[in-house]
Amino acid sequence: MAVEFRNVQKVSRFLDPRQDFAETKTASEIRFDPLTGRTGRVAHFALPPLTPPDLEEMARLSLERGCPFCPDLLEKVTPMFPSDLIPEGRLHRGEATVIPNLSPYDEHSALTVMSRQHLVRLPDFTLALLTDAFSLSLEYFHRVYQGPPSFPLINWNYFPPSGGSQLHPHLQLFATDTPGNLLLAEIQASERYYREEGRNFWEELVVAEKAEGKRYLGQTGEVSWMVSYVPIGILGDVVAVFPQRSTLAELTPGDLEAFSDGLTRVFRYFHDQGMYSFNLAFYPGRPGEADRFWVHARTVPRFSVQPVLHASDVNTLQYLYDEPVTMIWPEAMAAGLKPYFA
């Protein structure tokens, strides 16, 4: 069975106080992920206007107790790698620095401090800043991890709604043989697809999204960009697919620059929409399996659904039922994003 965008329509009826209690119908949709079959809902739609907080004021407050990633403290208060792992103690490229994570998630766990500036607003991330940070992160994995095949994971929590506790831009890195439930499910489903169809799901997904044209955004270099058919985030997800690459080690400098280029476009869209926080994750496969799995990255805007009360955009449905809900149509998000890829 080829890539299929399957959904079930639902209609809810009620007497609407906003229309003098006339009966009204509201549509929602349950969607099935074309790879894993996992369900998600496009529903609710009662989004408040997105109003970002005063970022300068947040930056000022966050500096009151000092920031370990700012240049005046970084060398003094952040850890260094043991000399048998990285003799020079920390890695540097451009403005980026890789340091061990004081609170490791796994044996090899590090942070990439991306900039010298404490506050970098979304439109101010340059191609050089992003490319240096991602390529130095890959160098870290290359330098420290010489063991059996594992999954080098790069992820980014930007601003507090995403779970990021330091405003200073930094990536989380760790190499692990336990890559998390979603990535494992994607790898297993891609293997099943390859076994049953004899083809690469990711290649077919790009072709299908291009053909349907509703969520496909365009290409930067060889990297293809699209909005997820079944997003994880309330505001939708942006997915970048790296053709013919099954591991992060296979990404070329050109791939990283192309990805960073696309990301600056996504960031400009987020900023223009009033979005100021996101999660980003890379999803790598196993070495030598580009015939069945392609590296991809997912960027999910995060926000507070009620900023005055600090209400989270993750509720019981997502957290305890593991059921994503998206409050805008992914196709509408794609229509808004597409001009940024022109």
Residue 298, beta-bridge partner list: 239, 281
- Binding of Zn ion at residue 116 (CB under 5 A)? no
Rounded CA gap, 77 and 97, in Å?
A: 14
- Binding of Zn ion at residue 70 (CB under 5 A)? yes
Rounded CA gap, 204 and 193, in Å?
A: 11
- Binding of Zn ion at residue 170 (CB under 5 A)? no
Distance of closest approach, residue 125 Cβ to Zn ion, in angstroms: 15
Distance of closest approach, residue 97 Cβ to Zn ion, in angstroms: 12
Contact 36/189 with Cβ under 8 angstroms?
Answer: yes
Nearer Cβ to Zn ion (55/70): 70
Q: Site for Zn ion (CB under 5 A): which residue of 35, 42, 67, 297?
A: 67
Dig out the tokens for 123 from the structure: 């439109």
Dig out the tokens for 299 from the structure: 């960027």
Q: Site for Zn ion (CB under 5 A): which residue of 34, 69, 269, 277?
A: 69
Nearer Cβ to Zn ion (168/296): 168
Dig out the tokens for 271 from the structure: 């900023």
Rounded CA gap, 158 and 299, in Å?
A: 11
**Piece in contact with Zn ion (CB under 5 A), picked from 14-22, 60-68, 125-133, 211-219:** 60-68
Residue nearest to Zn ion (CB): 67
DSSP reduced 3-state for 250: helix
**Piece in contact with Zn ion (CB under 5 A), picked from 43-51, 161-169, 174-182, 249-257:** 161-169
Nearer Cβ to Zn ion (69/125): 69
Nearer Cβ to Zn ion (145/156): 156
Helices (H), 50-163: 55-62, 71-77, 127-144
Distance of closest approach, residue 303 Cβ to Zn ion, in angstroms: 23
Helices (H), the chain: 55-62, 71-77, 127-144, 181-197, 201-212, 253-272, 316-319, 330-337
Name which of residues 222 to 261 contact Zn ion (CB under 5 A).
none
Choose among 169, 202, 254, 214: nearest CA to 336: 214
Dig out the tokens for 272 from the structure: 């223009």
Q: Site for Zn ion (CB under 5 A): which residue of 118, 210, 268, 271?
A: 118
Distance of closest approach, residue 120 Cβ to Zn ion, in angstroms: 10
Dihedral pair phi/psi, residue 274, rounded to 5°: 85, 10
Name which of residues 286 to 315 contact Zn ion (CB under 5 A).
none
**Piece in contact with Zn ion (CB under 5 A), picked from 32-40, 118-126, 223-231, 286-294:** 118-126
**Piece in contact with Zn ion (CB under 5 A), picked from 61-69, 226-234, 290-298, 323-331:** 61-69
Sign of torsion over alpha carbons 141, 147, 151, 157:
negative
Rounded CA gap, 333 and 335, in Å?
A: 5
Nearer Cβ to Zn ion (121/338): 121
∠ Cα 178 322 233 (to 5°): 95
**Piece in contact with Zn ion (CB under 5 A), picked from 36-44, 92-100, 111-119, 261-269:** 111-119
Distance of closest approach, residue 338 Cβ to Zn ion, in angstroms: 35
- Binding of Zn ion at residue 168 (CB under 5 A)? yes
Kindly list the residues in this chain that would bind Zn ion in the complex (CB under 5 A).
Answer: 67, 69-70, 118, 168
